[in-house]
Amino acid sequence: MVNVSENIQQTIRIDELAQSLPKEDFTEIQLNLDQPKIVWVATREIEISQLKGKRNIAIVMNAATFSEATDLDYFITNVSTSIVTPEWIVQTYSQRNWVEVFYREAKGWLGLKEYQVRDKRSLLRHFILVFCAYTFILWHQMTGGLRRRWASKPLNTFTEAIDAFRTAISFRFFDWLTHNRDVFAASKASLGYIWA
C-alpha cells in the first residue's frame, strides 16, 4: 500500500500505518445498534499496488489507540473522498448485516441457490422470481398483511411469514385445482403427461 496523504508517498503495510497514526487522527463514533457501541475511526486516501487509482481506507478500532485496541477492522472503498467520512464508513458498514440476512433467507427459504438452469436468461428469471417473492413476503410481514389474512397468530420472523405464505399459496392452488381439473389435465397432456 502507498500512503498518498499530504503529498508524501511511502510504501507501508496497512497495520503499520494504523500503528503509526497518533490518537488525534481517530474520530470517536457511537453506533446506535441494538447494543450501542463506540468505535474510533481514521480514514486515509491511498494507492494500492494491485489496483489503479486512489482508494479510501478506514481503520476502525474498539479503543482510542492502536495499542489498547483488541478489535481492528480495515475497510476499503472507491467512493469519493468528499463522501467518505468516519461517520459514513461505520454507518454504511453497520448496515451490511441486512445484506447477509437477505442472502441467508433467500438461499435457505426461497431456493436462490437451487436453480437447475444453464443459460443466462433462465438464471436471471430465477433470480427475479426469488427477489419478487422475498419482497412480497417482507412487504406483507411489515404491513401486517400476513397477520390479517393468512395467520391467526403474529408472524414475527421471516420463517413464520414464509410458512404462512406457503400455506396460503398451497390452499389457493388446491382450491383452483378442485374447480379446474380439466384445465390442469389438458395442460399436462400438452406436455405429454397423463394426470389422473
Q: Which of 54, 74, 94 represents a domain boundary (last residue)?
A: 94
Q: CA–CA separation, 55 vs 78, rounded Å? A: 5
Q: Which of 35, 61, 94 represents a domain boundary (last residue)?
A: 94
**One domain, residues 11 and 61:** yes
Residues pairing with 57 in the sheet = 44, 76
pLDDT recorded at residue 3: 53
Per residue of the chain (196 residues), what is the pLDDT tens digit?
Answer: 555 455 667 787 888 888 888 888 898 988 877 778 889 999 888 888 777 888 888 889 988 888 888 888 888 888 888 888 888 888 888 777 777 878 888 888 788 888 788 889 988 988 888 888 788 777 776 776 555 566 777 766 667 777 877 888 888 888 988 999 888 888 888 888 887 6
**One domain, residues 112 and 181:** yes
| Model pTM score | 0.51
**One domain, residues 52 and 123:** no
Question: Residue with C-alpha cell 479510501?
Answer: 56
Q: Give the residue ranges of DSSP H helices in 4-144.
A: 14-20, 86-94, 96-110, 120-143
Establish if 195 belongs to a structural domain: no
Establish if 110 belongs to a structural domain: yes
Q: Which of 94, 124, 148 represents a domain boundary (last residue)?
A: 94
Domain that holds residue 79: 2-94
pLDDT recorded at residue 145: 59
Number of structural domains in the chain: 2
Q: Give the residue ranges of DSSP H helices in the chain.
A: 14-20, 86-94, 96-110, 120-143, 145-150, 158-179, 181-190
pLDDT recorded at residue 80: 83
pLDDT recorded at residue 179: 92
